[in-house]
Amino acid sequence: MFFKRIILPVFCLAFEAGVGVSGEEVEVRDISVDKGTNVTIPCSGLGVEPTLPAPSVQWVHRGNRTHHEVLVDGSLLLKQISADDAGVYECGVENETAFNDRINITVRTEPPPLANVTVHASTILALILWNVAGDGGHPIIDFTAQYRSAAPVNGTLEPWRPISPNHISPNSRQIDVYHLDTNASYWFRVWANNALGPGAPVEVLATTLYTDQDAELYKHFLEGAATFDPRAWLAAVCVVLGALAVLAAGTAAQLCRECRSDGACTFDPRAWLAAVCVVLGALAVLAAGTAAQLCRECRSDVDYSEDPDGMELVPNIILNPGFLDTEPKPQSAASIIRSAERAGPGKPRRV
């Protein structure tokens, strides 16, 4: 009784402590594998031709005996390896502390969900921003972003619409979305892709603005244009041009009088008058064209408050000159891309 309750437990504890010390002295080998593959890990402490039977070899993972299959030669077979199988594996022969081996397995996976995904929505534009939380073990190839209206149609949400370009550069951390409706809610999602496939998407809900300050400013500048009278504009231009003509003629007469008094001047006032007439004529043509254009716009009765797209797209077109060249003209204000719809990745993570 004394032997079973005291001596034997003390002996077992001493044995386990010896195994632990011996295991810590063994150098850890690092192995990197892809998710979903089969991996065989040999126990190097058994030698090239092990003579011990398989049941005498045990593998420990995270302090517990592993449930994976141990082969005849003592190797450990991991089938369809997943991220949960990562970590340090220890192998050893029962009752022997000299044949220990330690292997650290790193499982390469798809990229993890992106971090700090935010959407800054304007009236008809939205800017998606994100940070990278990791690459899963393989370099990120590109990013993918999509959006759709948050308002259900006939009880269901519309399919996801791609955001151009379909393959966003791996160095990018933002993407613009054009041609949104004002005062409307949209779901936006973005994810990273590597050699193993797409990562989990992150979804963000955002609502575009109702008011358009640029359109209001545009409307303020054109206030009263409907009652603009081009005749008054032409009369003012004629007065200015007439004053310039009188000034030019007086200057030419004064120069001609001074030259004749000296008798040695070669100045020809006719050339001076011809140049002045050319300049005044060009100004007159420009003024007439401006008046005609303003008159045409006033008679068209355009309500600028109903079309804020033009004003708000101006800074974006300046920053992105290729926008008009690469984007076809949409059929509706809510459409943006003409590429084919492709199914998104797995279950998203919403923010």
Q: Are residues 302 and 344 in the same domain?
A: no
User: Is residue 312 situated within a structural domain?
Assistant: no
User: Is residue 193 situated within a structural domain?
Assistant: yes
User: Is residue 314 situated within a structural domain?
Assistant: no
- The 3-state DSSP class for residue 249 equals helix
Q: According to the model, what pLDDT value does residue 168 have?
A: 96
Cα separation values, 168 from 53, 140, 159, Å: 55, 11, 20
Q: According to the model, what pLDDT value does residue 230 have?
A: 72
| Cβ atoms of residues 126 and 185 within 8 Å | no
Q: What is the pLDDT of residues 236-287, one digit of tens each?
A: 778 888 788 788 777 877 777 777 776 666 666 677 777 778 887 888 787 7
User: Of 108, 123, 144, which residue sits at a domain end?
Assistant: 108
Q: What is the pLDDT of residues 68-120, one digit of tens each?
A: 888 888 889 999 999 999 999 988 877 666 556 889 999 999 999 999 999 99
Q: According to the model, what pLDDT value does residue 263 have?
A: 62
Q: Are residues 206 and 337 in the same domain?
A: yes
Listed range (13-22, 143-152, 209-218) with the worst mean pLDDT = 13-22
User: Is residue 218 situated within a structural domain?
Assistant: no
Q: According to the model, what pLDDT value does residue 255 have?
A: 75
| Preceding omega of 165 cis (within 30 degrees of 0) | yes
User: Is residue 121 situated within a structural domain?
Assistant: yes
User: Is residue 339 situated within a structural domain?
Assistant: yes
Q: According to the model, what pLDDT value does residue 56 have?
A: 76
Q: Are residues 86 and 160 in the same domain?
A: no
Q: Are residues 157 and 190 in the same domain?
A: yes
List phi, psi (to 5°) of 339.
Answer: -75, 160
Sequence-separated (6 or more) residues with CB below 8 Å from residue 189 = 145, 146, 147, 160, 201, 202, 203, 204, 344, 348
User: Is residue 7 situated within a structural domain?
Assistant: no
Model confidence at 202, in pLDDT bands (50, 70, 90)? very high
Angstrom distance (rounded) from CA 88 to CA 61:
6
Angstrom distance (rounded) from CA 324 to CA 250:
52
Cα R_g (the chain), whole angstroms = 40
- The enclosing domain of 72 has a CATH number of 2.60.40.10
Query: Burial code of 257-283, b = ≥16 C-beta within 10 A, e = fewer?
Result: eeeeeeeeeeeebeebbeebeeebeee
| Cβ atoms of residues 108 and 33 within 8 Å | yes
Q: What is the pLDDT of residues 67-76, one digit of tens each?
A: 888 888 888 9
Q: Are residues 270 and 129 in the same domain?
A: no
Q: 116's torsion region: left (phi>0), alpha (psi -120 to 50) or beta?
A: left
Q: Are residues 254 and 180 in the same domain?
A: no
- The 3-state DSSP class for residue 233 equals helix
The amino acid sitting at 351 is V
Angstrom distance (rounded) from CA 241 to CA 342:
64
Q: Is residue 159's pLDDT more than 70?
A: yes
- Of 170, 150, 169, 168, nearest in space to 160 by CA: 150
Q: Are residues 126 and 79 in the same domain?
A: no
**Domains contained in the chain, number:** 3
Q: Are residues 203 and 231 in the same domain?
A: no
Mean pLDDT value across residues 139-150 = 96
Q: Are residues 104 and 137 in the same domain?
A: no
Q: What is the pLDDT of residues 133-142, one digit of tens each?
A: 999 999 999 9
User: Of 74, 108, 142, which residue sits at a domain end?
Assistant: 108
Mean pLDDT value across residues 299-307 = 51
The DSSP annotation for 104-167 comes to: EEEEE-SPPPPEEEEEEE-SS-EEEEEE----TTS---EEEEEEEESS-BTTBPPPPEE-SSSS
Sequence-separated (6 or more) residues with CB below 8 Å from residue 143 = 114, 130, 167, 168, 169, 170, 172, 175, 190, 191, 192, 193
Q: What's the domain range around 266?
A: 223-306
Question: What is the reported pTM?
Answer: 0.53
- The 3-state DSSP class for residue 183 equals coil
Q: Are residues 130 and 177 in the same domain?
A: yes
Q: Are residues 203 and 335 in the same domain?
A: yes
Q: Are residues 195 and 335 in the same domain?
A: yes
Angstrom distance (rounded) from CA 327 to CA 7:
83
| Cβ atoms of residues 345 and 191 within 8 Å | yes
Token pair, residue 17, equals 């402590």
Sequence-separated (6 or more) residues with CB below 8 Å from residue 34 = 107, 108, 137, 196
Token pair, residue 136, equals 């899963």
Angstrom distance (rounded) from CA 237 to CA 85:
84
User: Is residue 6 situated within a structural domain?
Assistant: no
